[in-house]
Amino acid sequence: MQEELWTWADLDDPKLAALTEAERTLGADYVLVYRRGEPNRDLPASVALPPAVLDESQLDCLRGLERVVGGVAVAYRRAA
């Protein structure tokens, strides 16, 4: 089985605005958006960002963001 590779999604200004609004709506410290593709090798390999705990309404918000930005969105919180 071939492993899927992921990298940062390419976001223009309207998509970045949607991402920023999602961070505020979700109360997440960060929302990152990924797309399939070769990973960017110059980024840190290990960053301690635990996923945010989201309720069903917040997950719906995240799914809506994914449709807008055309990628996979993950909400994170700062590591303790």
Q: For position 7, what pLDDT does the model report?
A: 85
Handedness of CA 37, 30, 72, 16 (dihedral sign): negative
Q: pLDDT tens digit string along 16-55?
A: 999 999 999 998 999 999 888 877 665 555 567 899 999 9
d(CA 72, CA 66): 6
d(CA 59, CA 75): 9
Q: pLDDT tens digit string along 44-66?
A: 555 678 999 999 999 999 999 99
What ranges do the domains of the chain cover?
6-76
